[in-house]
Structure 1
């Protein structure tokens, strides 16, 4: 082999070593038995550094809580007449009241809405609906704390003006016993006659049982049937105002999709949501 061939061979070996391992020094060379240099095989590449894991995304912050209940020392006597449809004109309070409980999922989501935001409500329930036993364990702590109040809406939601006095009594008594047994509360004096219909016979039977206050409403979400989410928000914009007793229903899912919008209306208007017990002194 000529001297030129040897030099070319060294250059090729050197180039291969550079490609494989980067900078080449004298320590990178081996010699054969005749003293001719050979490139040292490149050292194995160091193990790759473990990947840097992105920090876990923090859980979404819970929504800001609404205003707390008013000072109980400011409670007032119930108005005379046995019918309640509006709160006293003393501050920025609003009563959100919801009825029935046909859909167990809607009841569950309303409970979580209350727990997450601090909104205070009165549930006028029909004990015939299994939602009230399905959700007992989640609802009971909020009832015990007073954040959610229970009212009597009869056992099975008949029009009380079309049935006998004995049926009126049976409907109210059965629901009353269900609330006492399941939630440990006496819902008197507040009852809501189904469809808002009542007459002197209904009033007389109810009063004899301690249900002296027929609780109606002065605003509504209009969601007794399935309506659009936009319409529910429209009704909330109209009726989420001070002194209003608002009627809603625990029956259809669209309202559960607009909780954020409802909270924003309440917060923007600085409204304090209340139960009826937050506002009125207990009857003696």
Structure 2
């Protein structure tokens, strides 16, 4: 991050005070009809009296994302920004503006002249460029070694989240998530992998505190894969990705690998073999033995996949691997460890997102509800970059976990 100026503590305190005072007034910023995006999952709603006293409460769960009409956007005293819904099941009710209920695009813009000073603490930050309609055009990670300040000239709410825009230096035009008083750095970590060499099967990490690992297998269907990875970037959510070598070499797979390579601050890699064969029982495709594969075949599947993935993403997949179909036994765990993969990563929550709703698979709301209901420090959530409703479920998954004081993160972070 380019240091623009170093503001004094009194100046920063004054700016924070101005921002806080401005947030106290209940201001109706739009009386015109506008669209409201309601992501899949539960939506708590309120009704208010004319003095903003709560007069009613209810929750409506949407099985899939919906766009409804809204009539007002108001900063309610002591409750923050709310949207009054005028269409659908929540007509006449207010929902809190956030990442699961928001006005699509850019709203609530304030331009500052002269520029303000944004205090940025040491740590890892994710910055963004947006199009004129509020779509993310680019994300960039940045590590700041010492606290600094930057000039900012604008604040806006983009798809339910507040940002401030840097006004000068190498990062001019990039947006920082959060407010002038409270910018949001990356809170998750890809960490450093554990150093054990003995084979073990891991379904959860009991020593972890306040963190839950999001893991995504990548093989077969890849239609939503790039959208999922970019959404994780936008959310500053760390994750562990398990690609197959075959999937990584497809057109979409190469794009996903490029995103992972560009964002080492958010993503780490595990190994899902080359061909997604059943390495315990045999079968799984034309490239797979019909009966249990030999140790040499297993080793080649892991090491060849690593060579492919490292060539595309610039990073190796050791020491984590995930057995295709979850088919594993103690012998296979030992073979994988000898091949350089002592950590056989399973899961504590299986979203079954690879199955269509017509075939008994979950809706987006059901995926989110399952993850939230099974939240526990050290849990490992299994999803797929090709999941049918995974992308639609992720807003509620991440919002729900953070709202319950859990940080979505990587496998390595659980071992810190």
CA distance in structure 1 between the partners assigned to 2:298 and 2:197 by the alignment: 24
Q: Kindly indicate whether the alpha-carbon contact (under 8 Å) linking 1:91 and 1:242 is maintained by their aligned counterparts in 2.
A: yes
- The answer to whether the aligner puts 1:270 opposite 2:405 as a matched pair is yes
1:135 to partner: Cα distance: 2.8
SS at match of 1:95: strand
- Aligned CA distance change for structure 1 residues 252 and 279 (closer, same or farther; 3 Å): closer
Deviates more, 1:121-130 or 1:226-235: 226-235
Which structure ranks higher in relative contact order (CA pairs < 8 Å, sequence separation ≥ 6)?
Answer: 1
* Other-structure match for 2:174: none
* Other-structure match for 1:96: 214
RMSD over aligned Cα, in angstroms? Answer: 2.8
CA distance in structure 2 between the partners assigned to 1:126 and 1:76 by the alignment: 22
CA distance in structure 2 between the partners assigned to 1:101 and 1:83 by the alignment: 21
* Other-structure match for 2:70: none
What count of residue pairs does the alignment treat as equivalent?
223
Q: Structure 1 residue aligned with 2:347, among 208, 217, 231?
A: 217
- Aligned CA distance change for structure 1 residues 93 and 133 (closer, same or farther; 3 Å): same
- 5 Å-filtered alignment, 1:128-143, equals 128-129=246-247, 130=250, 131-142=252-263
- 5 Å-filtered alignment, 1:196-215, equals 196-215=326-345
* Other-structure match for 2:279: 160
* Other-structure match for 1:279: 414
* Other-structure match for 2:204: 86
Deviates more, 1:158-167 or 1:183-192: 158-167
- The answer to whether the aligner puts 1:174 opposite 2:304 as a matched pair is yes
- The answer to whether the aligner puts 1:121 opposite 2:242 as a matched pair is no
Larger radius of gyration: 1
1:177 to partner: Cα distance: 0.5
List 4+ stretches of structure 1 deviating above 3 A. 56-60, 62-67, 70-73, 75-81
Q: Kindly indicate whether the alpha-carbon contact (under 8 Å) linking 2:190 and 2:267 is maintained by their aligned counterparts in 1.
A: no
Which ranges in structure 2 are unaligned for 5 or more consecutive residues? Answer: 1-104, 108-133, 135-156, 162-176, 178-183, 282-292
- 5 Å-filtered alignment, 1:33-112, equals 58=107, 59=134, 61-62=158-159, 64=161, 68-69=187-188, 82-112=200-230
1:199 to partner: Cα distance: 2.4
Structure with greater strand share of residues:
2
Q: Kindly indicate whether the alpha-carbon contact (under 8 Å) linking 2:368 and 2:394 is maintained by their aligned counterparts in 1.
A: no
Q: Kindly indicate whether the alpha-carbon contact (under 8 Å) linking 1:101 and 1:107 is maintained by their aligned counterparts in 2.
A: no
TM-score (norm 1): 0.70
* Other-structure match for 1:27: none
Structure with greater helix share of residues:
1
Which ranges in structure 1 are unaligned for 5 or more consecutive residues? Answer: 1-55
- Aligned CA distance change for structure 1 residues 177 and 237 (closer, same or farther; 3 Å): same
1:72 to partner: Cα distance: 5.9
CA distance in structure 2 between the partners assigned to 1:233 and 1:112 by the alignment: 19
SS at match of 2:213: strand
Q: Kindly indicate whether the alpha-carbon contact (under 8 Å) linking 2:215 and 2:381 is maintained by their aligned counterparts in 1.
A: yes
1:90 to partner: Cα distance: 4.1
Q: Kindly indicate whether the alpha-carbon contact (under 8 Å) linking 2:349 and 2:380 is maintained by their aligned counterparts in 1.
A: yes
Which whole-Å deviations, capped at 9, do the CAs of 1:80-125 have from their partners, x for residues lacking one?
6512111233411100111124333321011111111011110111
- Aligned CA distance change for structure 1 residues 223 and 253 (closer, same or farther; 3 Å): closer
* Other-structure match for 1:17: none
